[in-house]
Amino acid sequence: MKHTYQVSGMSCTGCRNHVEQTLSKVEGVTSVAVDLEKGEASIEMDSHIPLEVLQKTMHQDTEAYSIHNFGEQSDLNETKDKEPKGKGTGTFYCPMHCEGDKTYNKPGDCPVCGMDLVEEQNLSSISSAQWTCPMHPEVIKDKAGACPICGMDLVPLQADLSSEEKTYKGLLKKFWLAVAFTLPIFIIAMSEMIPNNPIYELMEQKWWNWIQFALSIPVVFYATWMFFERAYRSIKSWNLNMFTLIGIGAGVAWLFSVFGMFFPDFFPEQFKTESRAVHVYFEAAAVILTLVLMGQVLEARAHSKTNSAIKELLKLAPNKAVRVVDGNEEEVSIDQIQKGDILRVKPGDKIPVDGVITEGHTTVDESMISGEPIPVDKVEDDKVSSGTINGNQSFLMQAEKVGSDTLLSQIIHMVNDASRSRAPIQKLADTVSAYFVPIVVMIALITFAVWAVWGPEPAYVYALVNAIAVLIIACPCALGLATPMSVMVGVGKGAQNGVLIKNAEALEKMNKVDTLIVDKTGTITEGKPTVAKIGSFGDHFHQSEITQLIASLNSRSEHPLAEATVKYGKEQEIEILKVEDFRAVTGKGVEGKVGGKRLALGNAKMMEYVKAPITSDMKKEVQSFQKQGKTVSYLAIDSQLAGYVVIEDKIKESSGKAIKELQNKGISVIMLTGDNDDTAQAVANELNLTNFRAEMLPENKLEEVSKLQEQGHIVAMAGDGINDAPALAKSDVGIAMGTGTDVAIESAMITLVKGDLHGIVKARNLSDKVMLNIKQNLFFALIYNTLGVPIAAGVLFPIFGILLSPMIAALAMSFSSVSVIVNALRLRNIKI
C-alpha cells in the first residue's frame, strides 16, 4: 500500500532526511520519499499502518515535525505562535548550521549537535522606548509623564535580558556552583600524592570517597546534567556529537566510582588501594564536566561577539522621530510613522526612516552603511536612509520606506540570512563529522583493549583512564564551528563596509574569481546622465521641437537616460505632450505616437528597426560626440531621421583606481555596454581597459558570461539595471550596485551599498581574508584532533613515558572550540 501525508515543520534538507529516517523505522514501512517543497511524505507499507502510529513515532523522536492528513490542522501551530519572553526576535538557529538554514521558535539546544541555539538579531528586537511606574509596574506608557494611579513620575522601562544574555548568565551561575563543589573533590583526590596523607588521619579513605560522591552529586545532577540529556538525545536520534563523547567519558568515570563504592568486592586487586577501597574517579568526572562547562561559558561569551556587527547596526536604529502635522511638531515612536509622513530631522539626530528631503539642505554621515567616512551633501529631492546621522542643519523629509522596508532593515535581514547559510567548503567538515564520533568511540574501545592486554600494571586502570581521555579530548565542535563562525563575522564586517553578502557561497566563490564583467552606465559611470546637446538634421524641425518630442516620448520610459531628457525638457519649460502606443524595444530604444507623428528614439539598431536610414554625414556628426565617451540617441519621425540628443554620464572617480587594483590581483576586467563602439572605446581608453564589448543586448551579455564560463573562467558580473539581471543570475558571482534596480539586486549574490567599483575591491579583499580564516580554523581543528586523540590513547608512553590525564584532555577540548571562535573574531579588526 502507498499513502501520502502532509508533513509540517520542515525547512531544509536536514529536516527532510530526519523525517525520512524516522518514518523508515516504523515496522511495516518499506520505503519513504519526502518532498521538501510540497511538504509531503509518500510512504509504502506492507499493510495499512494507522496514521496515529506514524504520529506517535514522529512525536517520540522529536516535536519539531508533525505528520497529518491533507487539510487537517498541524499541531505545531500552537507552539509556533508562542513568543518567548525577552526582547529578542524569537528566532533561534544553530551556530554550526547542522540543519542548514533551519530556525527554531524557542531557545534550547540543537537536536543534532547539542550546542546552545543562538537568537537572531533584527530590528524587531529593538523595542520602542516605554515608561513605567516604580510603584505600579503594570502601568506602561509610550512617553514620559505621571502615573495615573499614584501620580509619581514614570521611569524608563528596563528591557528584559536577551536570550543570549540569559544563556550566558545561566551557564555562568552553574559554572561557579560546579567550581565550588569540584574544588574540594579535587583537593581530596590530589591529597593522595602527599606522603603520609594528613587527611587520612581524620577518617579512612573510604569515607573520603563518600564525601567526594556527595560533593559530585550537585555537579553531575544540576550544574552539568544538560550534557547527559544532550548525550542521551544524540544516541536516541543517532545524531552523535561532542556531548555523546562527554556523556560516555564522564558518565563511565562517575558510574565506575559509584559502583566501586557500593560493590568493592566485584573489582580485581589492581583497582584497589592499600586501604582495600576501590580507587574512585569522582575528581576526574567532576573536573572534566566543570572544564567542559567552562568551555561552554567562554563559547557563549564569544558567540555574542560574532554577531556584533548586526548589534552595531541595530544601535543605529532610532526609536523616536519628530513628525510635522499641520505645521505642529510632535514626538512619536518609530512604529507610528507611516509612508508619506513629513518628519523634522534636527542637527545631530539619526534619520528615522528612508525618505526624500522636501525642504532644506544638510550633510549626512553615511559611514555606518556605506563604510565611507566623508559626509555626503544632501539637498532637496535627495534620498536619505534610516540610521544615518544628520550634520549641522535641520531639514524636512517625507517618509518613503518604513519598518522592515528601510535600507537598514534590509541590510540586517540580508546579514542574518547570509550568516546562517553554508559555504561549500563546509562539506569537508560535514563529511568528517559524520564519521567522527563513531570512529572516536572505536578508538577508545581499542585503546582500552590494548592497554588491558599489553599495558603495565595496573593494566585495567591504565586502560580505563586512557579510554576516557580519548573520548574527552576529541572535539567535533571545533570542526563544525570552523566555517560558520568565520562566515558570520565576515558577513558582518562586509555589511559595516557597504558590502552586503547574500550567502556564504558568494564569499567562497569571490575568492576564486578570475574574470570580472562590468556594465558601463551606473557601474563605471555615475549613473546620473545629463543632456549635453540636442541637435537637428536639416531645417525641417527646430531644436525646441526636437526637445519637446524627445522629452514627451521619454516621459513614458523609466530608463535613466530617458529621465535625463525629461528633466532637461522641464528645465527648458517645454510642454510634455500626450504619448500613445508607447513601446520599449529592449536594447534598442523606444517608440510611440505624439501629435499624430510616429516617433522612434534610440541607437543605430533602433533606426534599422524602424527603417530610418542614417547618412554618412549624419553618422560623422554624431561620431564626434561618441568619441568623447558620450551617448547619442537618434530621433526618427515617421521613419525619417530628424535629430539627436547627446547625453553625458561622468566616470566615477573611484572606477579607474578600482579597475587597476583588481587587475593587480590578477583579475581580467571586461566592460560590456549597450552603447556604440566609439563611446565604449573612449571610456575604455580613459580607464586603460583593453577588453570591452559594445552594442550589447541583454542576451549578448548573457552569452558572453556563458562563453567565458565554458572556457573555464570563474566569472563575476557587476551591473545595476534590469537588462543586467539575466547575466547577473548566470554569472558565478553576481554583484549589484545598491543604487540600481530592485531586479538587479535580487539577481545578485553581492550588493554594494554605495554602488561603485571600489566596493568590488572590498568584496574581493573580504573574501580572501575570510577564506584564509576558514582554512586556518579547519587546519587547527583537524590537526588538534589528529594529534590529540593518539596522544590521549597513549602513543607517547612507550617512548617518553607521557600519559594525558582526562582532566587535561577536558581542558584542551574546551579551549579547542573557543580558539576557533577567537580566531574568527580576528576578522572584526581586518581592513578591507
CA distance 322 to 101: 39
CA distance 233 to 490: 33
Beta-bridge partner residues of 600: 591, 636
How many DSSP H helices and E strands does the chain contain? Answer: 27, 32
Active-site annotation holder among 109, 116, 354, 519: 519
452-to-258, 539, 573 alpha-carbon distances in Å: 21, 108, 99
**3-state secondary structure at position 693:** strand
CA distance 41 to 26: 14
Name the pairing type of β-strands 715-719 and 29-35: unpaired
Written in H, E and C, the secondary structure of 323-390 is: EEECCEEEEEEHHHCCCCCEEEECCCCECCCEEEEEECCEEEECHHHHCCCCCEEECCCCEECCCCEE
CA distance 97 to 440: 22
- Using an 8 Å Cβ cutoff, are 513 and 716 in contact? yes
Which three cell numbers, joined as nine digits, stand for 373? 567616512
Q: What are phi and psi of 735, to 5 degrees?
A: -120, 115
CA distance 432 to 476: 9
Question: What DSSP designation does 484 have?
Answer: H
Buried b (16+ CB within 10 A) or exposed e, 120-138: bbbbbbbeebbbbbeeeee
Nearest to 318 by CA among 254, 381, 387: 387
For residue 611, how many other CB atoms are within 10 A of its CB?
Answer: 9
Region for 188 from its dihedrals, namely left if φ exceeds 0, alpha if ψ lies in -120 to 50, beta otherwise:
alpha
**At what angle are helices 459-473 and 242-262 packed, to 10 degrees?**
150
CA distance 609 to 359: 45
Buried b (16+ CB within 10 A) or exposed e, 695-734: bbebeebbebbeebeeeebbbbbbbbbbbbbbbbbbbbbb
Residues in the chain: 832
- Using an 8 Å Cβ cutoff, are 237 and 19 in contact? no
Name the pairing type of β-strands 499-501 and 750-752: antiparallel
CA distance 616 to 598: 24
Region for 753 from its dihedrals, namely left if φ exceeds 0, alpha if ψ lies in -120 to 50, beta otherwise:
alpha
For residue 7, how many other CB atoms are within 10 A of its CB?
Answer: 24
Sign of CA dihedral 199, 203, 206, 211: negative
Written in H, E and C, the secondary structure of 56-110 is: HHHHHHCCCCEEECCCCCCCCHHHHHCCCCCCCCCCEECCCCCCCCCEECCCCEC
700-to-143, 706, 726, 805 alpha-carbon distances in Å: 59, 10, 10, 67
Q: What are phi and psi of 90, to 5 degrees?
A: 80, 10
Q: What are phi and psi of 632, to 5 degrees?
A: -120, 130
* 142 classed as catalytic: no
User: Which residues, other chains included, contact 727 with Cβ-Cβ below 8 Å and sequence gap of 6+?
Assistant: 517, 672, 698, 701, 702, 704, 705, 717, 719, 734
User: Which residues, other chains included, contact 257 with Cβ-Cβ below 8 Å and sequence gap of 6+?
Assistant: 209, 212, 213, 278, 280, 281, 282, 285
Which three cell numbers, joined as nine digits, stand for 338? 507611516
| Residue positions annotated with a catalytic role | 519
